């Protein structure tokens, strides 16, 4: 009952006044990749003035525009002014702004795992580890996008990609559909559905960077925003941010967000785990961590009064304070992106699961269907 009370308290006031007559989905050209593939931008808008824009390249969410308590609309995710920023920056820096991550999100130790007695070698692109599946990841490919006719008060689009056997070093052909939908309840839903023709491993997420104050006018980044996580435990990592296999309670540590607190409160505390990640970059194990949809996180910005609620069917969430933004990336509207300018909340399975049998399995076999749902709910608290 206590958990339910905490989460529902955050939902109070998460409503906007209707400003449009119906939800809509429009599209427009958005440039061309270096190898000549056309990229399209899609804009979902609901009747409350909330809009989500994404592109066919990587399924990248380029902007999420929501009103604040005064009705002022702002974009709340980091991004770029045009397509070139996403293609070049994602390739060189591995920032993954707003993108779909696969075939395996997060880290795999030593870039290796075994399945049915066979060892598979992946790219080591993060020290000794493979991070977000190496290059080219699903975030660097043009997806097939099928807009769907609005049903009721929801607009949808299905993004599809086929990842062949051996792609990125993983076994089996993976057919993946990711459905984006925006409702008049101010919910942006991400649904993943995948099948394979050989045993493989799958871990998928979205890598959006949020700043609820509005990206272009927040000199203190997200340090003065409050976060709540539905997690009593987190994964201990080594110096390369790879889980050791140890699970630790958050109580009496800087990783306790079971009550809402400022991002800044403990981020500078002398703690080896924070030092390894240059800030927060850990995996929290969600309470009620089964396949049912459950509360995962809530972020609140005291200035704008914006609130972001996240629920998911995934067993974990990675909370990351943009620690590797080094002030050398020019973002949208001339903003210079730096550490703690945003935060990512990546719903997913545990990192390095293929090498740690005690973790929830990420194995997918032929005849099975991988399904996962994450919902972002936008609102304001008066």
Q: Which residues of 334-372 are buried (b: 16+ CB within 10 A; e: fewer)?
A: ebebebbbbbbbbbbbbbbbbbbeebeebebeeeeebeb
All residue ranges of the chain with pLDDT < 50 are 1-13, 91-92
CB 298 within 8 A of CB 228: yes
Is 87 noted as a catalytic residue in this protein? no
Looking at residue 9, its pLDDT comes to: 39
Residues 6+ apart with CB under 8 A from 202: 102, 103, 104, 174, 194, 196, 362, 364, 370
Question: What span, in angstroms and rounded, lies between the C-alpha atoms of 102 and 283?
Answer: 17
Looking at residue 20, its pLDDT comes to: 54
Is 207 noted as a catalytic residue in this protein? yes
CB 212 within 8 A of CB 300: yes
CB 326 within 8 A of CB 339: yes
Domain annotation for the chain: domains and CATH numbers: 2-380 (2.70.98.10)
Question: What span, in angstroms and rounded, lies between the C-alpha atoms of 285 and 242?
Answer: 15
Looking at residue 19, its pLDDT comes to: 56
Looking at residue 6, its pLDDT comes to: 35
Looking at residue 160, its pLDDT comes to: 98
Question: What span, in angstroms and rounded, lies between the C-alpha atoms of 228 and 251?
Answer: 14
Catalytic residue among 207, 233, 309, 314: 207
Question: What span, in angstroms and rounded, lies between the C-alpha atoms of 192 and 159?
Answer: 10
Q: In a 3-state reduction of DSSP, which class is residue 261?
A: strand
Q: Would you state the structure tokens that stand for residue 72, as one six-digit string?
A: 């002022």
DSSP secondary structure string, 301-365?
Answer: -TTT-EEEEEEESSSEEEEE--TT-EEEEE-GGG-EEETTS-BEEEEES-TTGGG-TTSPP-EE-
Question: What span, in angstroms and rounded, lies between the C-alpha atoms of 9 and 4?
Answer: 8
What count of other Cβ atoms lies within 10 Å of the Cβ of residue 316? 28
């Amino acid at each position: 009952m206590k958990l339910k009370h905490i989460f529902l308290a955050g939902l109070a006031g998460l409503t906007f006044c209707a400003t449009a007559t119906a939800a809509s989905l429009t599209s427009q050209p958005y440039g061309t990749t270096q190898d000549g593939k056309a990229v399209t931008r899609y804009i979902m808008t609901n009747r409350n003035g909330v809009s989500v824009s994404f592109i066919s390249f990587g399924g990248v969410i380029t902007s999420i525009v929501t009103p604040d308590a005064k009705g002022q609309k702002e974009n709340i995710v980091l991004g770029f002014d045009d397509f070139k920023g996403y293609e070049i920056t994602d390739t060189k820096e591995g920032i993954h702004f707003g993108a779909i991550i696969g075939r395996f999100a997060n880290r795999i130790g030593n870039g290796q795992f075994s399945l049915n007695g066979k060892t598979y070698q992946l790219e080591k692109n993060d020290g000794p580890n493979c991070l977000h599946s190496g290059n080219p990841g699903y975030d660097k490919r043009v997806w097939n996008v099928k807009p769907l006719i609005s049903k009721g008060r929801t607009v949808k689009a299905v993004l599809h990609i086929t990842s062949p056997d051996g792609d990125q070093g993983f076994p089996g052909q993976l057919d993946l559909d990711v459905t984006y939908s925006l409702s008049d309840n101010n919910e942006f839903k991400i649904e993943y559905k995948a099948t394979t023709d050989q045993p493989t491993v799958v871990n998928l997420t979205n890598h959006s960077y949020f700043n609820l104050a509005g990206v272009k006018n927040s000199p203190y980044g997200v340090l003065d925003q409050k976060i709540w996580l539905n997690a009593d435990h987190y994964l201990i990592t080594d110096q390369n941010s790879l889980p050791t296999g140890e699970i630790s309670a958050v109580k009496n540590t800087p990783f306790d967000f079971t009550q809402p607190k400022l991002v800044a409160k403990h981020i500078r505390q002398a703690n080896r785990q924070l030092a390894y990640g240059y800030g927060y970059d850990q995996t929290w194990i969600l309470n009620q961590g089964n396949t049912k949809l459950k509360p995962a996180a809530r972020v609140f910005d005291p200035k704008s009064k914006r609130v972001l609620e996240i629920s998911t069917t995934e067993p974990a969430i990675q909370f990351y304070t943009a620690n590797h933004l080094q002030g050398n990336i020019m973002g949208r509207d001339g903003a210079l992106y730096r550490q703690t300018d945003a935060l990512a909340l990546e719903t997913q399975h545990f990192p390095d699961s293929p090498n740690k049998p005690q973790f929830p399995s990420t194995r997918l076999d032929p005849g099975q269907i991988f399904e996962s749902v994450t919902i972002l709910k936008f609102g304001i608290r008066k």
